[in-house]
Structure 1
Amino acid sequence: MSRSPVAVVQEFLEIVRSGVDPAHASHLMTSSVRAHQVQAENPTTIARTPEEYAEHVRQMMEAYGAFDLRIDELFGSGDKVYARWTQHGRHLGDVDGAAPTGKPIVEVASCVYRVAESRIAEYWIQIDRWGLQAQLTD
């Protein structure tokens, strides 16, 4: 049975991206996902496997500890789903060359996901990198 794109992305955020079970990405992502890093100065597109994405989440957990991911908005149209979230953690590991401080860190991000056959196939992510940098150097 096919699930709605919004349901797929909600499960992905709540289980995989949140760090609850990063390995669950293999159930929610295609074998290779086009990940567009939307940045004004250096837009980049990379391909990620579910295993690589799970490792990416584990690295975030090393940097921010067991963070709390709160979904602020989630809605879809057709095969596209928009999500905006706020992530609360602590600076426990190296982040962009900044040594751990133990201070609280808040990350704000938004993403548009494209879902095909009940799996995430592509996404466009924007992260408030300047706000994160300000917290790391504060």
Structure 2
Amino acid sequence: MTRTTEETVRAFLTEVRSGRSPERADRYMASTVLAHQVRAGARVTLERGPSNYTEHVKEMLEMFGPFEFIFDELLVDGDRAYARWVQQGTHVGVIDGHAPTGQPVETIGSAVYRVAEGRIVEYWIQQDAAGLTAQLAASES
């Protein structure tokens, strides 16, 4: 049975993006996923797959430690789902050139995921890079 858009995105966020089980990305992502990213006004589209997404989440764990990932909204319309979240962790690894401070750090993000046949095939993500940079700079002062 194919998962619904809501089931796919909810499980992906809860299991994979949360950092709990990044190795499960292959359960929810197509072999090639178009990842449209907007960060501080810069737009780029990457091709992601389950293995490189797993590595991406592991890199986040190296920077933020075992973080808390709270998605506080999930809206679904057909093959698309919008999710908004807050990620709270500790600055334990280098982030954007900023040496670890051990201070709490929080990021806010959102994405729209497109699902086909129970797998994520494309997403559009936005992160609050300016907010993260401000936190990192303040903890260095």
* TM more than 0.5: yes
Shift of 1:40: 5.9
Corresponding residue number in structure 2 for 1:52 = 52
Letter in 2 for 1:109: G
Range moving further from structure 2, 40-49 or 122-131: 40-49
The answer to whether residue 46 in structure 2 is matched with residue 41 in structure 1 is no
The secondary structure found in structure 2 opposite 1:38 is strand
Letter in 1 for 2:116: A
Corresponding residue number in structure 1 for 2:2 = 2
- How many correspondences in the alignment? 138
Q: Take 1:49 and 1:58, find their aligned partners in 2: how far apart are those partners?
A: 14
TM-score (norm 2): 0.96
Shift of 1:7: 1.0
Corresponding residue number in structure 2 for 1:97 = 97
Unaligned segments of structure 2, at least 5 residues? none
TM-score (norm 1): 0.98
Q: Take 1:127 and 1:25, find their aligned partners in 2: how far apart are those partners?
A: 20
Corresponding residue number in structure 2 for 1:83 = 83
Corresponding residue number in structure 2 for 1:126 = 126
Unaligned segments of structure 1, at least 5 residues? none
Runs of 4+ in 1 over 4 A off after TM superposition: none
Q: Take 2:130 and 2:43, find their aligned partners in 1: how far apart are those partners?
A: 15
Corresponding residue number in structure 2 for 1:20 = 20
The answer to whether residue 30 in structure 2 is matched with residue 30 in structure 1 is yes
Corresponding residue number in structure 2 for 1:117 = 117
